[in-house]
Chains A and B, each alone.
Chain A
Amino acid sequence: MDLDVADCLARVRKQDQDAARLLVEYLYPKVIRIVRHYLPRRAAEEDLAQEIFVKMFAKLDHFQGDLLLEHWVSRIAVNHCLNAIRTQKSRPEWRMADLSEEQAAALDAVTTGAAHDPHPAHLIGARELVEMLLQALEPKDRLLIRMLEIDELSIEEVRQQTGWSATYIRVRAFRARRRLNKRFRNLRKEGHL
């Protein structure tokens, strides 16, 4: 979808509802991707997206155009998702007995290194297992692991999307990896996180 962002923003600032609608449709894929990606429990993804857009419209007068609109909106979305994650109750401890059949099979397959071309059921199990592992991390750490290790974004890309400094990202990611490694080893060796 091509959009003249500057022209559209100018019209939105003049309360042009059609331009606002165009802007929402243009930015929606970006916002919903962030919401889906960083919030595993998706019951209210549309509500969250709506809250992000309302926040965006409220702050639109502060947007100076010194960074890309997409990056600016990404930062709003990321911060909103972080706040939403903070309000979720985390489950501090999982045990082997809590794992579903798919999750246990995925863990087994990944640790034995048997499956180079994993079964679809293993992929589902792996996804659920990763969500469980990430839930034990702090929201910012969770976000960084997703961005750096799952999405394989560069430090610069993470910086653009979050607005955090490169040093902060590196230090935080270092600690997050260490915590995640520890939890994964616990799960593998002792059967609990």
Chain B
Amino acid sequence: MSELDPDLKRLLKWAHAFSPSESEEAPFGFSTRLLAANRRAQVPTLLEELQQTAWGLTCVALATIACGCLLLFSQSFGPAPAADLPSAVSYVANNLAL
């Protein structure tokens, strides 16, 4: 294992010996400020709320597209409507024309 230069080692020892006495107690009001900051950090910001809303809207849009695709798919493979059975639209149009 590489060893430190003895002079450097002594320098480090001197540096360690000089330790200004400082309180290690939490300063007055520190925990209150911290817990308030922590609460603020947990509350979503406007940007985060916007992101959540955008994500929700995207999901709804994707679900709508998927439903539409399924409907089209089922119609293209389903039984063809009877030719003599008029559609609701043409029925209404014919009756209105009358």
Spell out B's residues near A (CB within 8 Å). Answer: 1-5, 7-12, 14-18, 22, 24-27, 30-35, 37-38, 41
A20-B35, A28-B24, A177-B3 as given contacts; A46 in contact with B30, CB under 8 Å: yes
In the bound complex, what is the Cα–Cα distance between A122 and B3 (angstroms)?
23
Residues 120-143 of chain A, each 1 if its beta carbon lies under 8 Å from chain B, else 0:
101110110111010000000000
A32 in contact with B24 given A53-B34, A129-B11 (CB within 8 Å)? yes
| Complex CA distance for A178 and B3, rounded to whole angstroms | 8
Does more than half of chain B's interface fall in helix, strand or loop, or is it mixed? helix
Complex CA–CA separation, A129 to B10 (angstroms): 12
A contact residues vs B (CB 8 Å cutoff): 17, 20-21, 24-25, 28-29, 32-33, 36, 46, 49-50, 53-54, 57-58, 106-107, 110-111, 113, 118, 120, 122-124, 126-127, 129-131, 133, 145, 149-151, 170, 173-175, 177-178, 180-181, 184-185, 188
Q: Tell me whether B24 and A33 are in contact (CB under 8 A).
A: yes
Question: Beyond A21-B32, A110-B7, is A150–B41 a contact (Cβ under 8 Å)?
Answer: no
Number of residue pairs across A and B with beta carbons under 8 Å? Answer: 104
The 9 closest A-B pairs by CB, nearest first: A123-B18, A126-B14, A29-B24, A130-B15, A28-B26, A127-B15, A24-B31, A21-B31, A177-B2
Q: Is there contact, CB below 8 Å, between A184 and B31? A: no
Q: Which among A54, A113, A118, A184 is the interface contact of B34 at CB below 8 angstroms?
A: A54
- Is A24 within 8 A of B30, CB to CB? yes
Query: Can you list 30 A-B contacts with CB-CB less than 8 angstroms, sorted by A residue number?
Result: A17-B35, A20-B38, A24-B31, A24-B34, A29-B24, A29-B25, A32-B24, A32-B26, A46-B27, A46-B30, A53-B34, A57-B38, A110-B10, A110-B14, A118-B17, A120-B18, A124-B18, A126-B14, A126-B15, A129-B15, A131-B15, A133-B8, A149-B4, A150-B12, A150-B16, A180-B4, A181-B4, A184-B11, A185-B5, A188-B7
